[in-house]
Structure 1
Amino acid sequence: MANLFSRWFGAQRRERALRKYAIDDALWRSTLDAYPFFGHLSAADLERLRESASLFIAQKAFSGAHELELTDVMLVSIAAQACLPVLNLDLDLYRGWVGVIVYPGEFIIRKTVEDEDGVVHEVEHDASGEAWEGGPVVLSWEDAQMADGSDAYNVVIHEFAHKIDMVTGVADGHPPLFRRWHAPLDSTAWADIFDNAYDQFCARVDAVPERRWARFERESLIDPYAADHPSEFFAVCSEALFVTPQAFEADYPELYRLLARYYRQDPAGVGALDSSDT
């Protein structure tokens, strides 16, 4: 009886949230038009994405930094992009934290780092996004709009991929694998493909002569920044999967299939999912 009541109460709360935070038809259409990578989704998928975006807005506390006044356009845009990776997984992957902080543009991150000699330094650099373990996601609104599909860049998907990666602890490029969604995958299968791809990418980046670095940055589908850490490689490849899926599949077919199986989406439409993934 208690379980029945819990399910009933949860369903009632969900319906209230969907009514209270319903997304206007015109706003939803303009959001889809602004981000072409939603185009691979079916009508049914888009309706589920719309519901997920409403629930996301209901569950999270948005705040603007530097006197940025948040609008419904901003909230729906961020929510729709954030919910795309978990569309065929579960919005509960974003549980355990509530804050989404939006800056007008890039912001400064200050960190303490220790060099190879053990000397601690205070460093700062500009950033377009940051995900804190157990804390908020911080985004640049200017960058959150840079998603026309001309390249693989998407700061929202990037930071929320970090959040998924952090579900089982510190982000390490090995996101949680759940039997009900990822039965064909286990940690060994993931490592065999992902770690090898990461090592190969790092070797490729390290081999670029300084005189050719600018050209490499322009021509590489995967941002060289992905070589900094396996967690960054996972987040950057997640961007590519959703934003430039055809190019990603062409350049990294095995890695594309791994991430398609993980997210249970095949945006390039190459038959990457078998019957056990759907």
Structure 2
Amino acid sequence: MLSKLTRWFGTRRRERALREHAIDDALWQATLAGLPFLGYLDAADLVRLREMTSLFIAQKQFSTAHELELTDKMIVGIAVQACLPVLNLNLDLYRGWVGITVYPGEFVIRKTVEDEDGVVHEVEHDASGEAWEGGPVILSWEDAQLTDGEDAYNVVIHEFAHKIDMLTGETDGHPPLFRRWHAPLDAQAWADVFDHAYDRFCDVVDNVPRRRWARFERESLIDPYAADHPSEFFAVCSEALFVQPKAFEQEFPELYRLLARYYRQDPARKGVLADTASQAEESAG
């Protein structure tokens, strides 16, 4: 009886959220037009994505900084891109936090870091996005609008991939694996492909002569920044999977298949890796 009551309340909450945060048709179509990499999704996928976007907006709190005006275009544009990676998974992957703060452009991050000798340093650098464990996602609106798909860059997908990675308690490029979605993929199978690909990419970056560095940055599908840490490699490759899937598959075929299995989507083939009969229930979150 209790489980039936719980499901009833859950259904009522979902229906209320879909009503209260329904996305205007004109705004929805304009948002899709600005995100050409969503072209691999079919009509049914887009219906689920639209519903998930409304549920996401109902769960999160958007705010801005530096007197930037918060608009529906901004909220929906960010929410759609955040929901894409979990479309065939579940919004629960974004549980435990609510805040999304949007800056007009790049912002300064100040951190305390300890070097190999145990010396503590105060450092600061410009950033277009930041994800805090248990805290907000911070985004540059200027960068969040770079969505033409001409390269593999997508700051929203990047930061939300970090949020997924953080669920294990360590941001290390080894996201949580769930039996109901990812079996028989396990931690060892993930490490065999992902860690090898990361080490190989780091070797390539390390061996680029200084005189060719600028050219390499322009020509590389995967931003050399991904070599900084396995967590960055996971986030940058997640961008590539959704934004430049065919090029990503061609350059990193094993890694493409791994991430496609993880996200249960196959963008390079305009298809999904999931049982569509169960997707709606699982994705609602």
Q: Distance in 1 between matches of 2:112 and 2:94?
A: 27
Q: Distance in 2 between matches of 1:230 and 1:78?
A: 25
Q: Distance in 1 between matches of 2:115 and 2:184?
A: 40
Q: Distance in 1 between matches of 2:95 and 2:113?
A: 29
How far apart are residue 11 of structure 1 and its match? 0.3
> Which residue number in structure 2 is paired with residue 95 of structure 1?
95
Which residue identity does 2:231 align to in structure 1? S
TM-score by length of 1: 0.97
Q: Distance in 2 between matches of 1:54 and 1:274?
A: 22
Which residue identity does 2:153 align to in structure 1? Y
Q: Distance in 2 between matches of 1:133 and 1:7?
A: 30
How far apart are residue 200 of structure 1 and its match? 0.3
> Which residue number in structure 1 is paired with residue 169 of structure 2?
169
Contact 2:264 2:272 in 1 (8 A): no
What is the CA deviation profile of residues 119-159 of structure 1, one whole-angstrom value per residue up to 9, with x for unaligned ones?
Answer: 21111000000000000000000000001111000000000
Distance 1:54 1:272, change over 3 A: closer
What is the CA deviation profile of residues 58-115 of structure 1, one whole-angstrom value per residue up to 9, with x for unaligned ones?
Answer: 0001001111111000000000000000000001110100000000000000011122
How far apart are residue 168 of structure 1 and its match? 1.6
Moved more, 39-48 or 265-274: 265-274
> Which residue number in structure 2 is paired with residue 63 of structure 1?
63
Contact 2:264 2:274 in 1 (8 A): no
Q: Distance in 2 between matches of 1:119 and 1:136?
A: 28
- Whose relative contact order is higher, 1 or 2, with alpha carbons under 8 Å and at least 6 apart? 2
Matched, 1:207 2:200: no
How far apart are residue 167 of structure 1 and its match? 1.0
Matched, 1:40 2:40: yes
TM-score by length of 2: 0.95
Which residue identity does 2:170 align to in structure 1? V
> Which residue number in structure 1 is paired with residue 53 of structure 2?
53
- Percent identity, please: 79
> Which residue number in structure 2 is paired with residue 233 of structure 1?
233
Q: Distance in 2 between matches of 1:81 and 1:97?
A: 18
Q: Distance in 2 between matches of 1:89 and 1:154?
A: 20
Distance 1:248 1:272, change over 3 A: farther
